[in-house]
Chains A and B, each alone.
Chain A
Amino acid sequence: MKELSLNILDIAQNSIHAEATLVEILLAEDADALTITIKDNGKGMSAEFLASVTDPFSTTRKTRKVGMGLPLLKLAAEQTGGTMTIESCERALCPDSHGTAVTAVFCKTHLDFTPLGDVISTVVSLIQGAPDVDFVFRHTKPDRTVELDTRAMREVLGEDVPLSDPAVLMWAREALEEQYAQ
């Protein structure tokens, strides 16, 4: 992947696939480190699947027997001296707190750090593809916090206007652009 924002898009698709109703994308950044957390309230993974999930030959996909999403993120983090960890709990075991959280820590000053890239397009693409899922995006930097919460948008839009409406997507894109530009 050329940008970490593409890894984020890819991993968040897993959350949608896991029937999450809320996906949180949290970026915390200081001068040296970037921590990316993708947290969902989806169906979670069994302990057995969790143990094997960063193995490329472990996937839920039926079209083929490899899944590269998590291995690619893990590689991107570890090649900077960082780490990737996954916590997950299934519905049966955690009826009130089921879901999965993937956390990747990157050392930004490392030569092999992949730039974050166009994270706004990632957020907009996710909303476009899964307008019934709620997304919280929060990017905390030393000088600012950039935020978007589709639950607040949905409250204003009501049930009549889908979040995938082009005018709504444009609003979301501009809302994020404005916050980054300030």
Chain B
Amino acid sequence: MKSLEELAKIRERMQSKVVLREGTNTTRIVVGMATCGIAAGARPVLNALVEEVANRNLNDHVAVTQTGCIGMCRYEPIVEVFENDKERVTYVKVTPEMAREIVEKHIVGGKPVVEYTIGAVDAK
């Protein structure tokens, strides 16, 4: 089994950074993980977001969190992005591929992927 010493090394690596991290999250990516979200495929979407944020070293200011039922089950998996001083952006029927694109274009690039938002999908 993977050794707990490896965990201890992770701790050592992290300790220097911890002070900086606290309270510095400015963006929250929230995934609906109630029964409806899970059944519609939210788990791989969540994992894609966590991976993409980690791979791009965004953890200092981007937090990926889970929530319960958002109340629009037919649109699941739903991902909402909350940024300081900006209006919330709601993405619907998200796939892992779309999730990675949202991180790239919206979180990193600063431009919401309009065609994946609830407004665009609803208008179809």
Q: Is A51 an interface residue (CB 8 A)?
A: no
Of A6-14, A30-38, A41-49, the one contacting chain B is A6-14
Q: Is A121 an interface residue (CB 8 A)?
A: yes
Asked if A156 contacts B33 (CB within 8 A), the reply is: no
Asked if B50 contacts A9 (CB within 8 A), the reply is: no
Asked if B7 contacts A128 (CB within 8 A), the reply is: no
Interface of A is mostly: helix
Asked if A161 contacts B11 (CB within 8 A), the reply is: yes
Asked if A9 contacts B2 (CB within 8 A), the reply is: no
Q: Is B68 an interface residue (CB 8 A)?
A: yes
**Contacts of A157 on B, CB cut-off 8 Å?**
7, 10-11
Interface of B is mostly: helix
**Contacts of B24 on A, CB cut-off 8 Å?**
none
- Complex Cα distance, B66 from A129, in Å, reads 6
Q: Write out, one digit per residue, whether chain B residues 2-16 have a CB within 8 A of any chain A CB (1) or not (0).
A: 101011101101110
Min Cβ gap B43→A in Å is: 6
Please count how many residues in chain B sit with their CB below 8 Å of the partner chain's CB atoms: 34
**Contacts of B70 on A, CB cut-off 8 Å?**
63
Asked if B38 contacts A161 (CB within 8 A), the reply is: no
Asked if B54 contacts A63 (CB within 8 A), the reply is: no
- Complex Cα distance, B15 from A158, in Å, reads 10
**Who on chain B is nearest to A154 by CB?**
B7
Q: How large is the interface on A (under 10, 10 to 19, 20 to 34, 35 or more residues)?
A: 35 or more
Asked if A174 contacts B64 (CB within 8 A), the reply is: no
Asked if B11 contacts A158 (CB within 8 A), the reply is: yes
Among B13, B35, B43, B69, contact of A72 (Cβ-Cβ < 8 Å)? B35
Could you list 24 examples of A-B contacts with CB < 8 Å?
A6-B39, A6-B43, A9-B33, A9-B43, A10-B34, A13-B34, A63-B69, A72-B39, A122-B43, A125-B43, A128-B46, A129-B66, A153-B7, A156-B8, A160-B14, A160-B15, A160-B18, A161-B10, A161-B14, A161-B15, A166-B59, A167-B54, A170-B54, A171-B10
